[in-house]
C-alpha cells in the first residue's frame, strides 16, 4: 500500500510520469486535475500517476462534462438553489468540485467521492486531503485554500447530490419502478415526505425552464425575460 504526500503549491517541481495528447477524465480514473500551464493540464490518476495532458484545463473539463452529460445550465440551477456560486460537476454520488472559483489560476478540481477526509494544516492553514487510490493507496494532497472555503464548496456539492438522489427515488417511485419496501428511506411513502419531494421536483423544473429561457432571451434580445412571459410559462407548466 502506497502512502504519498503531494504539495500542490510545488506543482512545477513534481515528478511527471508522462505526457499524453488524449486522456479522458472519468469519475473512477482521476483523483484531481489542475492547469499546469496555459496549454497543459496536470492529472493525478487513481493509480498514482502524475500526467500532463496536452489540452487546456477548460477543454479537459468540457470533454469530461460532455462524456458524462453534465450540462452547464443544470449545474447553474442546482448550485443557485443551494446558494453557492462556485459550481462543480455533480451526478448523484459522483462529485468533481473546485477548490475555488474557476477564474482563479490556482483552482484544483478533485473527486469528492474518492476523498477519505480532509483537515487544516496547523503550519500554514492550508488544507490536506486524503485521496483514496487503487488497492488501498493513500495520497495526502496539500492545497492552498482555507478550510472554511473548502467545507463550503463540498457542502454545496453534497446538497446538490442529495437533491438529485432524492428526485431519482421520487421519480422511480412515482413511475412505479420502486415499491415502498424497496426504498432507501422507509418513510418515503409518508404524505409529508412525498409532498416535499413533489414540490422540490416542480420547483427545480420551473427554475430550469426559466433559467434556460432567460439565458436565451438575454443572448438574443440583450435583456431579461419579461415578467409577463415568465408568468405565462409558469401557468403553462402548472396546468393539468
Q: What whole-number distance in Å separates Cα of residue 88 and Cα of residue 110?
A: 10
Question: How many structural domains compose the chain?
Answer: 2
pLDDT digits (tens, 9 = 90+) for 24-70: 999 999 999 999 999 999 999 999 999 999 999 999 999 999 999 99
Q: pLDDT digit string (tens) for 73-129?
A: 999 999 999 999 999 999 999 999 999 999 999 999 999 999 999 999 988 889 999
CA distances from 229 to 76, 77, 232, 239 (A): 21, 19, 5, 15
Q: Beta strand 138-143 with 3-7: parallel, antiparallel or unpaired?
A: parallel
Q: Which domain holds residue 140?
A: 3-157
Q: Indicate if the pLDDT at residue 237 is higher than 70.
A: yes
Domain end among 113, 139, 157: 157
* 167 Cβ contact partners less than 8 Å away, ≥ 6 residues apart: 197, 200, 201, 204
Q: Is 104 left (phi over 0), alpha (psi -120 to 50) or beta?
A: beta
Instruction: Please report, rounded to a whole number, the percentage of residues in the chain having pLDDT higher than 90.
Output: 81
**Model confidence at 166: pLDDT above 70:** yes
Q: What are phi and psi of 190, to 5 degrees?
A: -60, 140
Judge if 148 and 196 occupy the same domain.
Answer: no
Based on the fold, state whether residues 142 and 230 are members of the same structural domain. Answer: no
* Residue that terminates a domain, selected from 106, 140, 157: 157
| Residue 76 pLDDT | 97
**Whether pLDDT at 223 is above 80:** yes
| Average pLDDT value over all residues in the chain | 93
Query: Which one of 135, 157, 179 terminates a domain?
Result: 157
* Rounded Cα gap, residues 229 and 124, in angstroms: 52
Domain co-membership, 45 together with 85 = yes
138 and 220 part of one domain: no
Q: Does 71 have pLDDT greater than 60? A: yes
- HSE (side-chain half, CA atoms, 13 Å) at 29: 7
- Output the pLDDT for position 57: 97
| pLDDT score at 193 | 77
| C-alpha triplet 199, 225, 236: angle, nearest 5° | 45
- End-to-end, the C-alpha distance of the chain in Å comes to 59
Which residue bears the cell 419496501?
181
Structure confidence at residue 61 (pLDDT): 98
1-10 residue pLDDT tens: 888 999 999 9
The pLDDT value recorded for residue 84 is: 97
Q: What is the pLDDT of residues 173-195, one digit of tens each?
A: 788 876 665 555 555 556 777 78
pTM as predicted: 0.91
Angle at 86 between CA 137 and CA 62, to 5 degrees: 70
Amino acid at each position: 500500500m502506497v502512502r504519498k504526500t503531494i504539495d500542490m503549491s510545488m506543482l512545477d517541481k513534481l515528478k511527471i510520469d508522462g505526457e499524453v495528447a488524449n486522456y479522458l477524465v472519468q469519475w473512477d480514473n482521476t483523483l484531481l486535475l489542475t492547469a499546469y500551464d496555459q496549454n497543459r493540464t496536470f492529472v493525478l490518476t487513481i493509480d498514482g500517476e502524475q500526467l500532463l495532458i496536452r489540452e487546456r484545463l477548460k477543454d479537459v473539463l468540457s470533454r469530461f462534462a460532455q462524456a458524462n452529460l453534465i450540462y452547464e445550465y443544470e449545474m447553474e440551477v442546482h448550485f443557485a438553489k443551494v446558494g453557492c456560486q462556485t459550481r462543480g460537476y455533480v451526478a448523484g454520488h459522483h462529485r468533481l468540485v473546485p477548490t475555488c472559483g474557476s477564474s482563479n489560476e490556482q483552482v484544483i478540481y478533485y473527486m469528492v467521492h474518492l476523498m477519505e477526509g480532509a483537515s487544516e494544516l496547523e503550519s500554514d492553514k492550508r488544507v490536506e486531503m486524503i485521496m483514496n487510490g487503487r488497492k488501498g493507496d493513500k495520497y495526502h494532497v496539500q492545497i492552498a485554500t482555507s478550510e472554511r472555503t473548502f467545507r463550503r464548496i463540498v457542502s454545496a456539492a453534497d446538497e446538490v447530490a442529495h437533491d438529485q438522489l432524492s428526485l431519482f427515488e421520487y421519480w422511480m417511485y412515482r413511475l412505479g419502478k420502486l415499491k415502498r419496501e424497496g426504498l432507501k428511506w422507509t418513510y418515503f411513502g409518508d404524505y409529508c415526505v412525498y409532498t416535499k419531494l413533489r414540490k422540490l421536483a416542480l420547483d427545480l423544473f420551473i427554475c430550469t425552464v426559466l433559467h434556460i429561457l432567460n439565458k436565451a432571451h438575454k443572448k438574443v434580445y440583450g435583456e431579461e425575460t419579461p415578467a409577463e412571459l415568465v408568468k405565462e410559462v409558469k401557468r403553462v407548466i402548472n396546468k393539468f
